[in-house]
Amino acid sequence: MNRRLRSALAGLVLLALLTLVGCFEQEAPPLTAAGDLGEADVLGRAGSLGLQRYVLQGPPVVLGPAVRNASGLAYNAVSGTLFVVMNQPARLLEVALDGTLLRQIELDGFEDTEGVVWLGGERFALIEERRRLLNLLVVPPGASRIAYVDARRYLVDATEAGNKGLEGVGWDAARAHFHLAKEKRPRQLYRLQLPAQEGGSVRIDSPWDVQRYGLGLKDLSDLYHCDRTGNLLLLSDESHAVVEVDEHGRERSRLWLKKGHAGLDHSIKQAEGLVLDGRGTLYICSEPNLLYIFAPVTADKRLKNSL
């Protein structure tokens, strides 16, 4: 083969490769509505919990006969306890990390409470699904009742959604804003910034279009903001998964809640709430009253278990 023919063939091969790469680039989904990522954003995305390392720590804990319709979880770093919200009847339950029930708090006047998050001190926020409201309240130690009139509330979405409304709430302490999840029809992710002064306007937008870039999730049943990484954990009951995403909605890691994954001998049914404690332990509650506890396994332990 002469030199001219070899050069022509090499050029054709290079052109074919460039065309193939271009096809893959065109078929890849757009980043998000946020646009291209800059250097700072790339560096910010370096942190990840690595949910694929998490495994179940034992059989699910039964929270007790008094717990029904467990719908959301919060972790109080001061008391070192979990708070479980029930939707029917509306109750807030404080439980130890091993699932032992410590107290019940009546939520007088609240309806269809689906998510809860600890804001620091005695302050909590919880959401009402059908009313589409974010409620700010104080829960003093030893309290057994919280009155509806004592909460400060904000309307998140004016559109009636019935039983497919607000399902999860997370708190970004560094940026002082909430993330809220609408279950489905359509799935929606809200970002809510409270007014600087009482009586001011609330700012509500969406960090990305979760209906269009849905990560393969059929619904959203809860979410949690991780202050350490700046990432969100999205829980899907119908898809049996927890997905960690960065602030642009890009997947960082995933935990399957299906039989045969993460030490599970059965798929988790009706996973409704999730939270991390200060050690990075992941708690997931499922209706009516089960608590699943997951923790990361190190590479050394995974290697030892495989031998």
β-strand pairing of 123-128 with 271-276:
unpaired
Residue segments in the chain with a per-residue pLDDT below the cut of 50: 5, 8-9, 12-46, 300, 302-307
Report pLDDT for 307: 42
Per-residue pLDDT tens digits for 83-117: 999 988 999 999 999 999 999 999 999 999 999 99
Residue 212 has a pLDDT of: 85
With beta carbons less than 8 A apart as the criterion, state whether 64 and 289 touch. Answer: yes
C-alpha pair distances (Å), 241 with each of 50, 97, 172, 274: 14, 22, 22, 11
User: What pLDDT does 6 receive?
Assistant: 53
CA distance 292 to 281: 11
Question: Does the CA dihedral 296-299-302-304 come out positive or negative?
Answer: negative
3-state helix, strand, coil in the chain (%, to 5): 15, 40, 45
Q: For position 105, what pLDDT does the model report?
A: 96
Alpha-carbon distance of 299 to 279, in angstroms, equals 18
pLDDT at 301: 56
Buried b (16+ CB within 10 A) or exposed e, 173-198: eeeebbbbbbbbeebbbbbbebeeee
Q: What token pair was written down for 78?
A: 């001061």
What own/partner pairs with CB < 8 Å and gap ≥ 24 does 173-178 have?
A: 173/119, 173/120, 173/227, 174/227, 174/230, 178/117, 178/125, 178/134
Determine the pLDDT at residue 306: 40
How far, in Å, CA of 144 to CA of 147, rounded?
Answer: 10
Q: What is the pLDDT of residue 2?
A: 53
Residues 273-290: pLDDT tens digits?
A: 999 999 999 999 999 999
Provide the H-helix boundaries in the chain: 3-27, 39-44, 299-306
Which residue, 269, 203, 251, 188, is CA-closest to 48? 251
**Full-model pTM:** 0.81
